[in-house]
Amino acid sequence: MSEADTKLHPGLNLGPSHGEAHEEAEVVLFGFWVFLMSDLITFGLVFATFATMLSPMSIAGGPGPAEVIDLTSIAMQTTLLLLSTMTFGFASIAMKYEDGRGRIALWLAVTALLGAGFVALEVKDFIHMASIGAAPSRSGYLSALWSLVGLHGLHVTVGIVFVGVMIAQIFALGLTNQVKSRLLRLALYWHFLDIVWVGIMSGVFLAGALSA
């Protein structure tokens, strides 16, 4: 059987050796894709709002891109998130090839730590912004920036919590069909957030630094 025949949905497939868990995944994962795409609309519209808040009028004499963007921190955050998306891939592979709970949990823990590092740096940036008077209430530009970056940070935070929940479930419930299916969906969620970050990193921070 070629790979194309056994591939039921986007994302890493468990494969026929997982029996029902593989076949049941198709419908559930499609549903999860619908959720992800509705989330993409949310992000996209907050992004569009941000794009309308780039004029000098929206900056309103407050701190602009030159004052609020710390590119070094953004580079570090990008590195952490990109590494975490790869380590989640390794967790998925450990699940697909049945390396055992320990190995899956280990890669998930690494993923959560990298994600936590990302959120910590982002919070540090936000605290710095607040301290120089770049609070969200200062201008339309800053409201939009805090909303967009904060929305993504919130998603990553929720993702970290769910990685923790899944590590607990792996040990409490074992690798049941349901646990495997949940892990597949969490993987999609995590990889999706990295795509959103590519947009934010380029559209908000790199473009902002270049325009400053």
Partner 1 sequence: MNATKNDRDDLARQRAHDTRLYIVGFVLAVALTVPPFILAFTGILPRGASLVLVGIAALVQIVVHMRFFLHVDLSRQKREDLQLILFTVLLLALMGGGTIWILTDLAARMH
Rule CB under 8 A: which residues touch partner 1? 3-4, 7-13, 15, 17, 30, 33-34, 37-38, 40-41, 44-45, 47-49, 51-52, 55, 57, 71, 75, 78, 82-83, 85-86, 89-90, 93, 96-97, 188, 191-192, 194-195, 198-199, 201-203, 205-207, 209-211
Pairwise CA distance, residues 151 & 44, whole Å: 11
Of 83 and 113, nearer to partner 1 (C-beta) is 83
List the one residue out of 156, 159, 135 whose CA is nearest residue 145.
Answer: 135
Residue 80 corresponds to which tokens in the numbers above? 């952490």
Of 82 and 113, nearer to partner 1 (C-beta) is 82
| Sign of the dihedral defined by the CA atoms of residues 30, 31, 37, 40, in that order | negative
Rounded to a whole number of angstroms, the minimum distance from the CB of residue 71 to partner 1 is 6
Rounded to a whole number of angstroms, the minimum distance from the CB of residue 168 to partner 1 is 25
Q: Over the range 178-206, which residues count as b (16 or more CB within 10 Å of their CB) and which as e?
A: ebbbbbbbbbbbbbbbbebbeebbeebbb
Of 102 and 133, nearer to partner 1 (C-beta) is 102
